[in-house]
Amino acid sequence: QLPTGLYKKVLIILHDSILPYMNEPTLMIDFLTVAYGIGGAISLLALNGLFILIHQHNMEYPDFYKKLYGLLDSSIYHVKYRARFFHLTDLFLSSSHLPAYLVAAFIKRLSRLALTAPPEALLMVIPFICNLFRRHPACKVLVHRPNGPEDMSEDPYVMEEEEPSKSRALESSLWEIQSLQNHYHPDVAKAAAVLNQSLSEIEDDISGLLELSAYELFDKEVKKKAVDVPLEFEQVRGLFGKKNDIFAEHFSLD
């Protein structure tokens, strides 16, 4: 039993400062699997160590993707370790041998959570989703059903289902991304509109977007050169700007 603070510190350095120097890194399997099952930030931090054990030491973890899917909640776009999580999730979903229902479940859940995500996270996750479509063309049925349900309750996708295979994601549509095409931030709306066209075969490089912050986004907008827009000015007449309204008969602006 470790204090939460110490747990996090150990997991942050485990993958590069502990595992490479162990004669038998597989001894850490139990520690990492227990940490992965705790949930929250501790589970996110355990991903790095698990990634090394799975890819370099042939560790088998049958419920790995189920638990990874379970980590996707409303806080995932706001947590401190967001960049690390999405970098590793990108690696875990890079295999073209993953079943379509699994990838579709990830796409659908990320899209649903994106409805309440901040712009800096959306500019990262939309290209992330596009890359998943490029790797797994079978999931494009989600895009080819452009007319989403009028009522969210009619969407066949079951958000509360913990098992990706039972979420019915492949029967749904990606109406969430279509909604983001009307986002208040023009860059987000532009990024979401990419799915209206056929995607190129080359994947988007999201490495520079993983750590994009609200400050950087704001700073970019501030530094944009202002464009002078010609305006036609008409002097106000009447209380509400109309020439012959009833208010002008009884009130004046003086």
Q: What is the pLDDT of residues 139-168, one digit of tens each?
A: 888 887 766 666 666 788 998 888 998 998
Contacts 24+ apart (CB under 8 A), 235-242: none
CB-side neighbour CA atoms (13 Å) of 116: 8
Closest CA relative to residue 112, chosen from 73, 142, 80: 73
* Domain regions of the chain by residue span: 98-249
Tell me: the pLDDT tens digits for 64-88?
888 889 888 888 888 888 888 888 8
CB-side neighbour CA atoms (13 Å) of 6: 3
Per-residue pLDDT of the chain (254 residues; tens, 9 = 90+): 778 888 888 888 888 888 888 888 888 888 888 888 887 778 888 888 888 888 888 888 778 888 889 888 888 888 888 888 888 888 888 888 889 999 999 999 999 999 999 999 999 999 999 999 998 988 888 887 766 666 666 788 998 888 998 998 888 888 899 899 999 998 999 999 998 888 888 888 888 888 888 888 888 888 877 777 777 766 666 566 666 667 667 776 66
CA–CA dist 103, 23 (Å, integer): 35
**In the structure encoding, which two tokens stand for residue 1, read together?**
């039993």
| Single-letter code of the amino acid located at 245 | D
Q: Can you tell me which residue has the tokens 């305006």?
A: 231
Q: Quick one: pLDDT at residue 33? A: 86
CB-side neighbour CA atoms (13 Å) of 32: 27
Q: How many angstroms separate the Cα of 131 from the Cα of each of 14, 181, 242?
A: 29, 18, 53
Decide if 205 contacts 90 (C-beta within 8 A): no
Cβ contacts of residue 57 below 8 Å, gap of 6+? 25, 26
Which element (helix H / strand E) includes 23? none
225: left (phi over 0), alpha (psi -120 to 50) or beta: beta
Decide if 104 contacts 142 (C-beta within 8 A): yes
CA–CA dist 209, 64 (Å, integer): 26
Tell me the average pLDDT of the chain. 84
Tell me: the pLDDT tens digits for 108-124?
999 999 999 999 999 99
